[in-house]
Structure 1
Amino acid sequence: MDHKQLGYFLTLAETLHFARASEQCHVSAPTLSRQIKQLEQELGTELFIRDNRSVRLTVNGKAFVDYAQATLAKWRQFKGQCQDSAGPLTGELSMYCSVTATYSFTYDLFAVFRKQFPAIELNLNTGDPAFSINHVQTGKEDVAVAVAPSHLPQGVAYLPLGKSKLVIIAPTMDCPLSELINSHLNTPSLWEQLPFIMPEHGVLKERIDAFCARQKLTPKVYAHVSGHEAMVALASLGFGVACVPQIVLEQSPFLNQVQHLEVEPKGSLEEIEIGLICKQKRLQDPVVSALWQCATQLFSNPYS
Structure 2
Amino acid sequence: MDSRSLQLFLSLSETLHFGRSSEACHVSPSTLSRSLKQLEDDLGVRLFERDNRTVTLTHEGRLFQHYAREALAQWDLIRNSLLAEADELHGEISMYCSVTASYSFLYEILSRFRHQYPRIEIKLHTGDPDQSIARAQAGDEDIAIAARPDNLPAGLDFKPIAESSLLFIAPTGDLGFELPPAGHSNADDWSEVPMILPEGGVARDRVDEWFRALAVKPRIYAQIAGNEAIVSMVSLGFGIGVVPRIVLDNSPLAERVKVLDVRPELAPLEVGLFALQKKLKNPLIRAFWAQLQG
Tell me, yes or no, whether TM beats 0.5.
yes
1:34-71 deviation line (CA, Å, top 9, x unaligned): 9589647843536468998x987553444343223223
Does 1:71 find its partner at 2:68? no
> Counterpart of 1:181 in structure 2: which amino acid?
E
**Counterpart-to-counterpart distance in 2, 1:289 and 1:85:** 14
How many Å apart are 1:243 and its aligned residue? 0.9
RMSD, matched Cα: 3.3
- 1:85 shift after superposition: 3.1
1:89 deviates by 1.8
Give the Cα–Cα distance (whole angstroms) in 2 for the partners of residues 45 and 215 of structure 1. Answer: 55
SS of equivalent to 1:256:
helix
CA gap 1:10/1:179 in 2 versus in 1, 3 angstroms: same
In the superposition, relative to structure 1, how do residues 33 and 63 fare at CA in structure 2: closer, same or farther (>3 Å)? farther
CA distance in 2 between counterparts of 1:259 and 1:33 reads 55
Which entry has the higher C-alpha Rg, 1 or 2? 2
Task: Mark the CA change 1:188 to 1:157 in structure 2 (over 3 Å): closer, same or farther.
Answer: closer
Q: Deviations over 1:168-221 (max 9, x none)?
A: 1122233xxx14135x64585342112222222211111111011011111122
The equivalent residue for 1:195 is 194
Does residue 248 (structure 1) correspond to residue 247 (structure 2)? The answer is: yes
Give the corresponding residue for 1:161. Answer: 161
After superposition, give the CA deviation of every residue in 1:83-127 in whole Å (9 maximum; x if it has no partner): 153443211111111111112211110011001111111111111
Following the alignment from structure 1 to structure 2, what is the Cα–Cα distance between the partners of residues 278 and 71? 18
Residue 14 of structure 2 aligns with an amino acid whose one-letter code is T
Q: Of 1, 8, 11, which residue of structure 2 is paired with 1:5?
A: 8
Q: 1:275 offset after TM fit, Å? A: 1.2
Deviation (angstroms), 1:161: 0.9
Residues 3 and 227 from structure 1, CA distance in 2 versus in 1: closer, same or farther, beyond 3 angstroms? farther
2: CA distance, partners of 1:293 / 1:55: 40
Does the CA-based 8 Å contact 1:168-1:261 persist in structure 2? yes
Q: Are the counterparts in 1 of residues 206 and 267 from structure 2 also a CA contact under 8 Å?
A: yes
| Residue 275 of structure 1, aligned match among 272, 275, 283 | 272
| Identical counterparts, % of pairs | 36
Contact 2:161 2:272 in 1 (8 A): yes
The alpha carbon displacement at 1:288 in A equals: 0.8
Where has structure 1 moved over 6 Å in runs of 4 or more? 31-34, 48-52
Q: SS of 2:173's equivalent?
A: coil
* Contact in 1 for aligned 2:169/2:240 (Cα 8 Å): yes
Mark the runs of 5 or more structure 2 residues left unpaired by the alignment. Answer: none
- Look up the match of 1:45: 46
Change (3 A) 1:89 1:137: same
- Which residue is equivalent to 1:117? 117
**Which SS does the other structure have where 1:276 is aligned?**
strand
CA–CA distance in 1 between the matches of 2:187 and 2:200?
Answer: 28
